[in-house]
């Protein structure tokens, strides 16, 4: 039980907010599934023989199915009107956005700048990138006006009904961005990040929950660098991957290098050999164990896949890091060299989560629907012991204070600060028994249950009772205690006692 004197309720909010930052800081660097690859993700052939890189000693074994939990936790739904395109409810959108916010916060550490790019491009772009030839079956074709954007120009009429394609990946668009300005060797590496929605026309029989979808989002990133920068960039990407996976305490994963396909590839054998040599060196330098998946590379370059083993022992491709000498050639990208000449940049495709939808499915099952506080869509609920008006009013005051939304009468509402995090705190002041309300709150997976009763009104200063519940682990549950040891204001004026649920 946590007893909090009323004058310090606002401090609780500060603690809660700080905890989120703490949750990010304390956990370390990690990786995911990259869909830049034009090849479909495949289980690695010799992956099962690898010794895994452990991020946890023994992953939990919940008999969880993210599709069932997605419904019971009001995370997402689907519709016959858009098969394979999940519709996120507010709870699911909250988790989705927390994941995006987490990565955005890390981008500054790794030198990525976010960009915003179109959803559709003309067929001619996909022909130039090679996707139309190699990937057309999985792309949505769109008919649109091919106008050049000028009014009253008869030439535009000839371009009506031109063929477009919905983008299945961001790489060509990022090549356009790189090529839009004159580049110097001093500018490199240039790192773009993009959360655009992507579309792939999966066959209907393959669609499943959040794991096989037609519309999804990637934490997509592209690095344009010099040859001499490849090793450092790949190594930093592997560190980034390790940090994220450790943060979420996901199960063990393995690194697999996929090499040149026997046929159906672009570029020369020599180019492939050089690219593969760079990736081998980066893998060796990483200090992690890795293996080779011969012939499983994307058509435009070799890649490193991260294969995650979930709590049920199933393997998922999450992150991918891919070297690409081909797209910069196709888009004729170049930068000025120190010797007053020009050279072609190397392109590295990378994603940390991979598909955000698929990553969410893994998290839902990994946490069995009970998320850690800092990404939980149901972090806290206020329950009233009675439906007395004064108790209900106090419950509302506590709710607003904890959620960071409280303002006082006659106080002009100011714009919310960008660095202020709003916590969705729910409230139940119905006349039902407290026992029923607590049981329901537990079943819904609330991390914290705050109970407000008449006695809280009688004590000066007033108190509330917080039950810590449904934390992913003891560390999460104890963050209120450890907060004082991490540069966050201590709570010297009241006692913190936490009752841990087993």
Concerning whether 220 is annotated as a catalytic residue, the answer is yes
What distance in Å separates the CA atoms of residue 165 and residue 185, rounded to the nearest whole number? 33
Residue 12: alpha-carbon gap to chain centroid = 27
Stretch that binds Zn ion, among 156-164, 271-279, 326-334, 342-350 (CB under 5 A): 342-350
Of 171 and 188, nearer to Zn ion (C-beta) is 171
Of 171 and 198, nearer to Zn ion (C-beta) is 171
| Cβ at position 326, least distance to Zn ion in Å | 11
Stretch that binds Zn ion, among 73-81, 346-354, 448-456, 484-492 (CB under 5 A): 346-354
What distance in Å separates the CA atoms of residue 472 and residue 367, rounded to the nearest whole number? 7
- Is 131 a binding residue for Zn ion by CB under 5 A? The answer is no
Give the phi and the psi of residue 448 in degrees, each rounded to 5: -130, 135
Diameter of the chain measured on Cα atoms: 81
Concerning whether 106 is annotated as a catalytic residue, the answer is no
Residues 463-482 that bind Zn ion (CB under 5 A): none
| Cβ at position 128, least distance to Zn ion in Å | 15
Concerning whether 171 is annotated as a catalytic residue, the answer is yes
What distance in Å separates the CA atoms of residue 493 and residue 463, rounded to the nearest whole number? 12
Decide: 347 and 405 in contact? Cβ < 8 Å.
no
- Is 171 a binding residue for Zn ion by CB under 5 A? The answer is yes
- Is 358 a binding residue for Zn ion by CB under 5 A? The answer is no
What distance in Å separates the CA atoms of residue 486 and residue 216, rounded to the nearest whole number? 37
Concerning whether 215 is annotated as a catalytic residue, the answer is no
Stretch that binds Zn ion, among 66-74, 341-349, 407-415, 462-470 (CB under 5 A): 341-349
Concerning whether 174 is annotated as a catalytic residue, the answer is no
Q: Which of 38, 171, 175, 225 is catalytic?
A: 171
Decide: 17 and 423 in contact? Cβ < 8 Å.
yes
- Is 47 a binding residue for Zn ion by CB under 5 A? The answer is no
Q: Which of 13, 20, 106, 218 is catalytic?
A: 218
| Cβ at position 37, least distance to Zn ion in Å | 8
Q: Tokens representing 441? A: 């709150």
Of 200 and 366, nearer to Zn ion (C-beta) is 200
Of 300 and 491, nearer to Zn ion (C-beta) is 300
Of 36 and 352, nearer to Zn ion (C-beta) is 36
What distance in Å separates the CA atoms of residue 246 and residue 227, rounded to the nearest whole number? 30
Residues 268-287 that bind Zn ion (CB under 5 A): none
Concerning whether 26 is annotated as a catalytic residue, the answer is no
- Is 36 a binding residue for Zn ion by CB under 5 A? The answer is yes
Concerning whether 400 is annotated as a catalytic residue, the answer is no
- Is 198 a binding residue for Zn ion by CB under 5 A? The answer is no
User: Which of helix, strand or coil describes residue 247?
Assistant: helix
Q: How far is CA 355 from CA 33, 210, 256, 447, in A?
A: 6, 9, 18, 26
Stretch that binds Zn ion, among 90-98, 224-232, 282-290, 348-356 (CB under 5 A): 348-356
- Is 349 a binding residue for Zn ion by CB under 5 A? The answer is yes
What distance in Å separates the CA atoms of residue 290 and residue 313, rounded to the nearest whole number? 19
Of 233 and 467, nearer to Zn ion (C-beta) is 233
Q: How far is CA 50 from CA 57, 206, 257, 310, 316, in A?
A: 16, 28, 12, 15, 14
Q: How many residues bind Zn ion (CB under 5 A)?
A: 3
Q: Tokens representing 135? A: 């990937």
Of 321 and 362, nearer to Zn ion (C-beta) is 321
Of 12 and 139, nearer to Zn ion (C-beta) is 139
The alpha helices in 324-478, defined as continuous H runs, are 327-330, 356-366, 389-403, 434-443, 454-458, 474-477
User: Which of helix, strand or coil describes residue 278?
Assistant: helix
* Residue closest to Zn ion, measured at CB: 36
Question: CB-based contacts of 465: which residues, under 8 Å, 6+ apart?
Answer: 1, 2, 3, 450, 451, 456
What distance in Å separates the CA atoms of residue 471 and residue 382, rounded to the nearest whole number? 17
Tell me the CA end-to-end span of the chain in Å, nearest whole number.
Answer: 14
Place of tokens 């992953």: 59
Per-residue binding string, Zn ion, 381-410, x by CB under 5 A, is: ------------------------------
Q: Which of 6, 36, 212, 220 is catalytic?
A: 220
| Cβ at position 36, least distance to Zn ion in Å | 3
- Chain positions contacting Zn ion, by CB under 5 A: 36, 171, 349
Q: Which residues are catalytic?
A: 171, 200, 218, 220, 222, 303, 349
């Amino acid at each position: 039980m946590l007893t909090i004197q009323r004058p310090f309720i606002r401090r609780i909010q500060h603690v809660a907010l700080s905890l989120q930052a703490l949750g990010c800081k304390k956990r370390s660097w990690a990786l995911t599934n990259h869909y830049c690859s034009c090849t479909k993700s495949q289980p690695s052939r010799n992956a099962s023989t690898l010794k895994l890189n452990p991020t946890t000693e023994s992953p939990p074994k919940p008999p969880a199915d993210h599709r069932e939990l997605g419904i019971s936790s009001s995370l997402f739904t689907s519709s016959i009107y858009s098969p394979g395109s999940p519709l996120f409810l507010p709870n699911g959108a909250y988790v989705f956005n927390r994941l995006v916010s987490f990565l955005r916060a890390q981008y500054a550490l790794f030198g990525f700048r976010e960009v915003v790019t179109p959803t559709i491009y003309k067929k001619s772009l996909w022909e130039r990138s090679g996707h139309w030839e190699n990937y057309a079956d999985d792309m949505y074709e769109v008919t649109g006006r091919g106008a050049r954007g000028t009014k009253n120009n008869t030439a535009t009429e000839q371009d009506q009904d031109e063929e477009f394609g919905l983008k299945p990946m961001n790489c060509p668009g990022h090549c356009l961005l790189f090529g839009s300005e004159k580049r110097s060797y001093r500018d490199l590496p240039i790192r773009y990040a993009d959360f655009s929605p992507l579309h792939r026309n999966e066959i209907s029989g393959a669609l499943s929950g959040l794991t096989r979808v037609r519309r999804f989002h990637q934490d997509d990133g592209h690095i344009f660098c010099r040859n001499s920068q490849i090793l450092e960039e790949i190594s930093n990407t592997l560190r980034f991957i390790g940090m994220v996976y450790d943060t979420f305490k996901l199960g063990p994963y393995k690194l697999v290098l996929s090499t040149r396909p026997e046929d159906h590839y672009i570029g020369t054998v020599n180019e492939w050999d050089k690219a593969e040599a760079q990736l081998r060196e980066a893998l060796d330098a990483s200090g992690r164990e890795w293996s080779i998946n011969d012939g499983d590379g994307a058509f435009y370059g070799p890649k490193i896949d991260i294969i995650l083993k979930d709590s049920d022992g199933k393997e998922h491709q999450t992150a991918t890091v891919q070297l690409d000498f081909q797209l910069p050639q196709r888009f004729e990208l170049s930068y000025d060299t120190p010797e007053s000449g020009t050279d072609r940049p190397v392109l590295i495709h990378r994603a940390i989560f991979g598909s955000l939808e698929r990553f969410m499915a893994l998290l839902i099952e990994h946490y069995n629907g009970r998320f850690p506080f800092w990404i939980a869509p149901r972090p806290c609920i206020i329950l009233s012991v009675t439906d007395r008006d004064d108790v209900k009013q106090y419950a509302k005051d506590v709710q607003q204070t904890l959620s960071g939304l409280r303002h006082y009468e006659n106080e002009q509402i100011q714009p919310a600060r960008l660095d202020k995090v709003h916590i969705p705190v729910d409230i139940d002041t119905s006349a039902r028994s407290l026992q029923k309300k607590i049981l329901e709150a537990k079943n819904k997976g609330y991390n914290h249950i705050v109970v407000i009763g008449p006695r809280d009104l009688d004590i000066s200063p007033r108190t509330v009772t917080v039950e810590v519940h449904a934390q992913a682990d003891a560390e999460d549950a104890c963050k209120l205690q450890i907060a004082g040891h991490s540069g966050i204001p201590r709570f010297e004026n009241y006692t913190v006692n936490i009752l841990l649920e087993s």
